[in-house]
Amino acid sequence: MSNKPEGIERPVNFIRNIINDDLANHLHDRVCTRFPPEPNGYLHIGHAKSICLNFGLAEDYQGKCNLRFDDTNPAKEDVEYVESIKKDVRWLGFHWEGEPCYSSNYFEKFYQYAVELINKGLAYVCFLNAEETREYRGTLKEPGKNSPYRDTSPQENLALFEKMRAGGFKEGECVLRAKIDMASSFMCMRDPTLYRVRFEHHHQTGDEWCIYPMYDFAHCISDGIEGVTHSLCTLEFQDNRRIYDWLLDNLDDFSRPDRPHQYEFSRLNLEYTVMSKRKLHQLVSDKLVEGWDDPRMPTISGMRRRGYTPASVRDFAERIGISKVDSMTEMGILEAAVRDDLNKVAPRTMAVMDPIKVVIENYPEGEVEVIQAPIHPQNEAMGKREIFFSRELYIDRADFMEIAPNGKYQRLAINKEVRLRNAYIIKGERFETDVDGNFTTIYCSYDPETLGKNPADGRKVKGVIHFVEATKALPAEFRVYDRLFTVPNPGKAEDFESVLNPDSLIVKNGFVEPGMAEAPVEQAYQCEREGYFCRDNKINDRLVFNRTVALRDTWSQQK
């Protein structure tokens, strides 16, 4: 019964089943979701999961998904975050109609709905202080007791609430509470606070208000006002669904069968990283990372800077699916998703990150040869690029050993032949070292008849290594990133900062092909045999490349 466009087949999940049922039963004739971040931090990959779910549903059912800033707590929020959130959602490739929504847009309506509850005898102004409120609430196993202010008349409550709005009470002096059930097994139903007094400047409404609604009150009503059909949130809000339902059912505008309903799915946990906003804030403020967009951060902006593409993030979200199981997702799924995308779209290039000089002794001195190399070996249509070859080259230190350790070794060694990628076959002849025994120069010979073809005598050369011609090579910095933490679940560590990976960033200095001089920011490249890299989007006075992810390596696993 879904009217999703042909060709797009997303994996099924329990939420889609619910929507399909609702549509089939004509409970709803349209789908409206929303992504409701609080603008108090940067978006991370966990939010991306939610964004893809909510906006993806809207796309598939030709419905609508609102971007809504849940800005009911001005003390913690800032426009810096609303801007970054808009940017990140757009970058992921999703769109919202018109201006984004803000809960703060509805402050006046919220106030009127609160008045409705007061008139119905379902809300009251309570003068218990925070500590007393806690005592009155009871515990998980014992019921609470009624506030002494619980039976104030609606007329009096109305006057009190007006006075709250008018600034007649100090912060903490009183709150507006729903009158529900102090014995409920759901703690959130023990007369939850609806409004508190805060003389705080709000990033959207300025100083217009000194009372601000609580999440439980604002969220369901915002959904109702916007005509949201399916309000999707994470598991920790399961209990809150009772207050969500109670409020909508007690408000005349919303107590209809087709009112919004809340459904909960499990949040994303990714191995070797943290997802809590508090911890991410801490990493930034303790300067353990460069900032919110540090490429090691699981933030959208960090992943973008690292070289992840919107397509890869969306594909990842699709691969992990949606369920209600508390789970821990392996990094491998994320990495496989980027590799799949980048393998298809990334131009190939060669970069040497830990250079050793190679001299081809039988190559004419002073000559520089131009070679046309494919930009993508599996996609001719991407064309060719010019690379260079001469008597002096750079290869990577990891690609040479004096003596091959075993028969499986496929790289350069003395008296061993190897193919230089896109160029000739060379053979190691001799080498020089420094006083510490490190190789400084390797002298080789080349077979002039092997450019673009195999040796005529039929000898097999299995190994292929990459290189950069020395005179035209451009110096470049490579930032090789690894997991931020050393343990799979750093969030559970007593002190998560103590389990940071000291090698999460290794900076290498080497060379790239001259064609990389104008590499656009964020453009993904595959440095052949090394991995996927992109030009850093912050540093522009020199060539800095961030490693997005290494190539799949089944070889080093065997060693």
Total site size for RNA, rule CB under 7 A: 94
Residue nearer to RNA on the CB measure, 300 or 420? 420
4, 145, 198, 267: the catalytic one is 267
Q: How far is the CB of 539 from RNA (least distance, A)?
A: 25
164 binds RNA (CB under 7 A): no
Binding-site residues for L-glutamine, in ranges, read 70, 215
214 binds RNA (CB under 7 A): yes
Locate 295 and state its tokens.
Answer: 């490429």
DSSP state of 557: H
Out of 78, 162, 239, 354, point to the residue binding RNA (CB under 7 A). 239
Residues of span 180-209 touching RNA by CB under 7 A: 185-188, 192-193, 196-197
Residues of span 453-492 touching RNA by CB under 7 A: 453-454, 463-465
Q: How far is the CB of 401 from RNA (least distance, A)?
A: 9
17 binds RNA (CB under 7 A): yes
| Angle made by CA atoms 328, 267, 240, in degrees to the nearest 5 | 140
Binding-site residues, in ranges, read 38-40, 44-50, 70, 215, 234, 267-268, 275-277
Residue nearer to RNA on the CB measure, 192 or 428? 192
| Residue span binding RNA (CB under 7 A) among the ranges 104-112, 245-253, 303-311, 417-425 | 417-425
Out of 327, 372, 433, 498, point to the residue binding RNA (CB under 7 A). 327
Binding-site residues for ATP, in ranges, read 38-40, 44-50, 234, 267-268, 275-277
Residue nearer to RNA on the CB measure, 104 or 229? 104
Q: Residues of 24-40 as b/e, b for ≥16 C-beta within 10 angstroms?
A: eeeebeebbbbbbbbbb
Q: How far is the C-alpha of 474 from the C-alpha of 111, rounded, in Å?
A: 64
| Residue span binding RNA (CB under 7 A) among the ranges 80-88, 438-446, 450-458, 498-506 | 450-458
Assess whether 267 carries a catalytic annotation: yes
311, 361, 515 from 331: Cα distances, Å: 17, 46, 33
Locate 183 and state its tokens.
Answer: 């014995």
Q: Phi and psi for 131 in degrees, rounded to 5? A: -70, -45
- CB 481 within 8 Å of CB 546: yes
Q: Phi and psi for 522 in degrees, rounded to 5? A: 70, 0
Q: How far is the C-alpha of 431 from the C-alpha of 441, rounded, in Å?
A: 6
Assess whether 38 carries a catalytic annotation: yes
Q: Phi and psi for 498 in degrees, rounded to 5? A: -80, -10
Nearest-Å Rg of the Cα atoms of the chain is 31
Residue nearer to RNA on the CB measure, 294 or 400? 400
Element (H, E) at 474: strand 474-481
Q: How far is the CB of 129 from RNA (least distance, A)?
A: 4
Torsion of CA 174, 180, 184, 187, to 10 degrees: -40
Q: How far is the C-alpha of 242 from the C-alpha of 85, rounded, in Å?
A: 29
Out of 1, 24, 79, 328, point to the residue binding RNA (CB under 7 A). 328
Q: How far is the CB of 398 from RNA (least distance, A)?
A: 9
Give the bridge partners for 392, in sequence order.
359
Out of 160, 175, 351, 413, point to the residue binding RNA (CB under 7 A). 175
Residue nearer to RNA on the CB measure, 410 or 501? 410
Give the other-Cβ count within 10 Å of 159's Cβ. 15
Out of 1, 3, 5, 11, point to the residue binding RNA (CB under 7 A). 11
423 binds RNA (CB under 7 A): yes
| Residue span binding RNA (CB under 7 A) among the ranges 24-32, 123-131, 247-255, 352-360 | 123-131
Residue nearer to RNA on the CB measure, 452 or 458? 452
Phi-psi region of 303 (alpha: psi -120 to 50; beta: other; left: phi over 0): alpha
Binding string, residues 297-326; x marks residues near RNA by CB under 7 A: ----------------------xxxxxxxx
- Interacting residues of 344 by C-beta distance below 8 A, sequence separation 6+: 379
Question: Exposure of 19 by Cβ count < 10 A (0-12 exposed, 13-18 middle, 19+ buried)?
Answer: buried
Assess whether 408 carries a catalytic annotation: no
Residues of span 517-556 touching RNA by CB under 7 A: 526, 528-529, 551-555
76, 277, 357, 508: the catalytic one is 277
Taking alpha carbons only, the member of 524, 539, 552, 530 closest to residue 306 is 524
Q: How far is the C-alpha of 90 from the C-alpha of 313, rounded, in Å?
A: 13
Can you count the helices (H) and strands (E) in the chain?
A: 13, 25
Binding string, residues 252-281; x marks residues near RNA by CB under 7 A: --------------x---------------
Out of 450, 504, 537, 546, point to the residue binding RNA (CB under 7 A). 450
Q: How far is the C-alpha of 559 from the C-alpha of 555, rounded, in Å?
A: 7
Element (H, E) at 163: helix 154-165
16, 34, 38, 241: the catalytic one is 38
Q: Residues of 515-552 as b/e, b for ≥16 C-beta within 10 angstroms?
A: bbeebeebbbbbbbbbbbbbbbbeeeeebbbbbbbbee
| Residue span binding RNA (CB under 7 A) among the ranges 107-115, 131-139, 220-228, 538-546 | 131-139
Out of 90, 95, 134, 163, point to the residue binding RNA (CB under 7 A). 134
| Residue span binding RNA (CB under 7 A) among the ranges 147-155, 210-218, 299-307, 471-479 | 210-218
Residues of span 358-377 touching RNA by CB under 7 A: 376-377
422 binds RNA (CB under 7 A): yes
Locate 34 and state its tokens.
Answer: 């929303």
- Residues marked active site are found at 38, 267, 277
